[in-house]
Every structure is written in C-alpha cells, then in structure tokens.
Chains A and B, each alone.
Chain A
Amino acid sequence: MVYCISILGVLGIIVIIRMIQGPTIWDRLLTFNQLSSKVTISIVMMSIITSQSFLLDIAIVYTLLSFIGSVFIARFIRERGDF
C-alpha cells in the first residue's frame, strides 16, 4: 500500500509538470481536477494504512471543495470575470 502511495505521488508530479506547461487555461483546470482526484485516493490509502477513521471525513470535504473550486473557476472564465 505504501508503494501505491509513492506511485501516486510520482503521477502527481508528472501532472504538475503538465499543469505548468499547459498551453491554455482549460488545460490547467483539467490537470487541477485530475490532481485533486489523486490526492483524494492518497488520503483514503493513508487512512487505511494508519487505520484512523477521521481521515475519510477529510477526503469527503476535499472532494466537495475541489468540485466547488473547479466549477466556479470555470464559470468565472466563461462569464469573463463576472459571475
């Protein structure tokens, strides 16, 4: 399970490289979406390893907050700086 977390970390670093060199702003939003899903999976694996139940609550809150951030940034770009 520890090896799975390290593989997910390497994938996250590759996604961050893609986020830095993405040509348009929607590429960066897309990579942010993918990175947040990898972070969620890593938090759930961490809670399985240490067998602490409150980390799963943090995973739920992280999922909802990344959804709200992604949707509102996309809407902010679509309305050209206005909600």
Chain B
Amino acid sequence: MILEIIAYVLIGAGLLMASFGVLGLFRFHVVYSRLLVSSNVDAVGLTLMMTGMMAVSPDYLFAGKIFIVLILSLITSPLSSHAIAASAYESGYRAK
C-alpha cells in the first residue's frame, strides 16, 4: 500500500516533468535552447516514471527489465542530443 502511494507520486512527478519539457519546446526559439530543455527535463521525467513503475511492478523479472530499459535510455538519450547539436553547429546554424 505504501509502495503503491510512493509509485503513483513518482509517476505523477514524472508526468509533470514531461509536460514541462513539452512546454519548453514552445517557449524557446533557438534550437540549442530547445535541445537543452527537452533533453534535461525529459531525462528527469523518464527516470522518475521508470523508478515509479519499478516500484509497482509485480515481479523481480519485471523490475530488472525496466531497470535495463532505464539504463539504456540514460546512455542513449544524451548521445543522440549531442549528435543533433553537433550536426546543427557544423552545418553553420548559429544562435542570433
């Protein structure tokens, strides 16, 4: 019961963070600012939601697999953000 309450609080906080990340896409007007906001806030929301779902999962196998998904996402998300930023910089896009 306590574990479920903790899990739903974590998932709600993660959804709030994901909503802030989507709001940041509309508030900023340069690619680099959008990249920074969406990458940071989205990583926080993903970590919170995955931790909440690990707490509410019915089995240890489920928790281990969700942990593998979390680790893979935390490795690959900054790498793709860096690739997009390097592509924008080396193609000649500059922030005004």
**A pairs with B:** yes
Residues of chain A at interface, number, CB under 8 A = 41
Give the contact-size bracket for chain B.
35 or more
Per-position 1/0 for A16-57, Cβ under 8 A of B: 001000001011011101100110110011011001010011
Instruction: Find out whether the CB atom of B93 lies under 8 angstroms from the CB atom of A24.
Output: yes
A26-B53 in contact given A53-B61, A67-B76, A74-B80 (Cβ < 8 Å): no
B57 nearest CB neighbor, chain A only: A48
Q: Among B61, B62, B83, which residue has the most Cβ atoms of chain A within 10 A?
A: B83
Q: Which residues of B contact A53 (CB under 8 A)?
A: 59, 61-62, 65
Q: Let me know if A33 and B77 touch, CB within 8 A.
A: yes
Known: A37-B42, A78-B87. A15 touches B22 (CB 8 A): yes
Are A26 and B22 in contact, CB atoms less than 8 angstroms apart? Answer: no
List residues 58-81 of chain A with CB under 8 A from any CB of chain B. Answer: 59-60, 63-64, 66-67, 70-71, 74-75, 77-78, 80
Min C-beta distance of A55 to chain B, whole Å:
9
Which residues from chain A sit less than 8 Å from chain B, CB to CB? 1, 4, 7-8, 11, 14-15, 18, 24, 26-27, 29-31, 33-34, 37-38, 40-41, 44-45, 47-48, 51, 53, 56-57, 59-60, 63-64, 66-67, 70-71, 74-75, 77-78, 80
Instruction: Identify the 6 closest CB pairs spanning chains A and B, nearest first.
Output: A67-B76, A74-B87, A56-B65, A78-B87, A70-B80, A74-B83
A-B CB contact pairs (8 Å), 23 listed: A4-B15, A8-B18, A11-B18, A15-B25, A18-B25, A24-B88, A26-B84, A27-B34, A29-B87, A30-B81, A34-B25, A38-B18, A41-B50, A44-B50, A47-B62, A48-B56, A48-B57, A53-B62, A56-B66, A64-B72, A67-B76, A77-B87, A78-B91
